[in-house]
Amino acid sequence: MNEMELKYGCNPNQKPARVFMEKGDLPFTVLNGKPGYINLLDAMNSWQLVQELKKATGLPAAASFKHVSPAGAAVAVPLSETLQKTYFVEGIELSPVATAYIRARGADRMSSYGDFVALSDECDAQTASFLKREVSDGIIAPSYSEAALEILKTKRKGTYLVLQMDPNYQPEKIEKKQVFGITFEQQRNEIALTEDCLTEIPTKNKDIPAAAKRDLLISLITLKYTQSNSVCYAKDGQAIGIGAGQQSRVHCTRLAGNKADIWYLRQAPQVLSLPFRDDVRRPDRDNAIDVYVGDEYMDLLGGDNWKRVFTEKPPVFTPEEKKAWLATQTGVSLGSDAFFPFGDNIERAHKSGVAYVAQAGGSIRDDNVIETCDKYNMAMAMTHIRLFHH
């Protein structure tokens, strides 16, 4: 089949809508549900992302997409005991692909609500079982076990979108799109992101260990499929904060840094010991945690509000306690889809435990950025690769 009619385009008033191939058949098969326009944009972008992560690291990869940018991306690095508790999978032996999915979904659970999931490897029953519990619109993978497919077909009253992608599909070198009746054409961005792009290190500290190189590559590959301007913080084999589509780079750095801070605050003892009621739904639990670690915690704890989610009133997570916990965050990697124009980005990154940086370089203020990295003993690689994505 080389053409598929869609319900509508980005919005219900945008009809008719379809996807089609100028040559050959569509490279995916719909196993369940009916795809929408944005579903397929997320699917095609997220599929490329997980394929590149798998190629760069040799590990199964997963991504959680929302509105054509990743909310999370990860590879199958085993979870620490703390992250097992944070991601509510304590004591469960996870398959590699399930580990990647749990990490990708766990990066920013608020943004992943209603996401589109991509897996680099076959979806197994365990991953499908975890996904069944989440609010999600669809999934794309190269294959599904029989048990996994049966599980996913029961999700969303049988309407959950399941796409099987042809892993051997290779697109044309030239890509096109239309905007306002005008056709844009360019060569696809097929640049390979490998450790070779991390060899130029102008900072005094030139030590980037293997785990940090892996995380920098995860960050850069994630940015390759994130709406620009964009910045990504990564640690332990996963993105922990993604700032997408900002007009100012420092706003990207702040936005992504705030998300990375929330990711780390969720691992604090005060959060891990929250006394949730057994009947609290997962989205309500995630919302409560987000409020608890944020500045609106009194809205949650005021009066009898706490009774909606907790068995007893938890103690306030004070600003002083949060600041002290965040100060223990270390070893974070940071990637940028273009150069940092000023050292203020590095100043903000330092507050979220960044020790390793990868950015294009080429700013007239590179000296200021390098000087700021040296101030905090960060190791920074200049890739000379811009990764704008629109």
Catalytic residue selected from 23, 157, 173, 390: 390
Catalytic residue among 66, 259, 322, 350: 66
- What span, in angstroms and rounded, lies between the C-alpha atoms of 385 and 185? 21
Catalytic, out of 32, 39, 45, 229: 229
Query: E-assigned strands of 201-254?
Result: 230-235, 238-244
Burial of 223 (0-12, 13-18, 19+ CB in 10 A): buried
* Residue 196 one-letter amino acid: D
| Residue linked to tokens 């600041």 | 323
The SS3 call for residue 207 is coil
In sequence order, which residues have a C-beta less than 8 Å from that of residue 306 and are 6 or more positions away?
A: 300, 313, 314
Using alpha carbons, select from 358, 58, 352, 343 the residue that is nearest to residue 208: 358
- Give yes or no: 66 in active site: yes
Exactly one of 55, 67, 251, 351 is catalytic; which is it? 67
Residue type, 153: K
Q: Rounded distance, CA 371 to CA 363, Å?
A: 13
The reply to whether 390 belongs to the active site is yes
Cα within 13 Å of Cα(217), Cβ side:
28
Bond from prior residue into 2 cis (ω within 30 degrees of 0): no
Which DSSP state fits 315?
A: P
Among 372, 323, 383, 378, residue whose Cα is nearest residue 344? 372
Q: Which residue has the tokens 């199964």?
A: 60
Residues with active-site annotation: 66-67, 229, 390
